[in-house]
Each structure stands twice: as C-alpha cells, then as structure tokens.
Amino acid sequence: MSFRIPCPQCGARSVYEFRFGGEVLTRPQADADADAWYRYSFARNNTMGIQTEWWYHRLGCRQWLQVVRDTKENRVTATNFREKKEREDCE
C-alpha cells in the first residue's frame, strides 16, 4: 500500500522516495549488558498502531526524518528533522 510522507523540507512526497530506517529506539548505555544490546539491535516492537520511525529522504533533501505513523492505516500524523537542520539544496 502506497502513502505520502510530508517532508518538512520538500513537502508531501511518495513513500517510494524514502528509505525505511526502522523504529526509533533508545540506545543502551555503553556499559549495558549483552541482553540490552541484543534487544536494541535485533528485537522490534512492530506496533500495530502509532509508532515513531526513521525514514531517509533518498530522492529529495537526503535527510533523516522521524515520522509518526499509524501502521494499521499507513497514515502519517507528524514528521520532523531530528536535528532541526534544514537544507536548501532539496531537489
């Protein structure tokens, strides 16, 4: 199912311009145990409903976005640049 992602720099674009980067997760501390690192690296919630995800705008401004998306309906409710940095060289 196709949907559109509203890029903060380029406007609403087809999902095919983006690359999915996974769920936004909290990175464990450097001294965390092996189980915490395993969960961070391999285990995913795969929530049916609202979740925050990483998306890379590969055919536009080439920025990583955080996208809040309803995975049940494939509906995007919010997007933002993580570092609040915008580029002027958007194609």
pLDDT at 2: 83
Which residue in the block uniquely carries the two structure tokens 């936004």? 24
Which residue in the block uniquely carries the two structure tokens 């890379």? 56
In sequence order, which residues have a C-beta less than 8 Å from that of residue 81 and are 6 or more positions away? 8, 9, 63, 64, 65, 66
pLDDT at 83: 65
Per-residue pLDDT tens digits of the chain, which is 91 residues long? 589 999 999 999 999 999 999 999 999 999 999 999 999 999 988 889 999 999 999 999 999 999 999 999 989 999 999 765 444 444 4
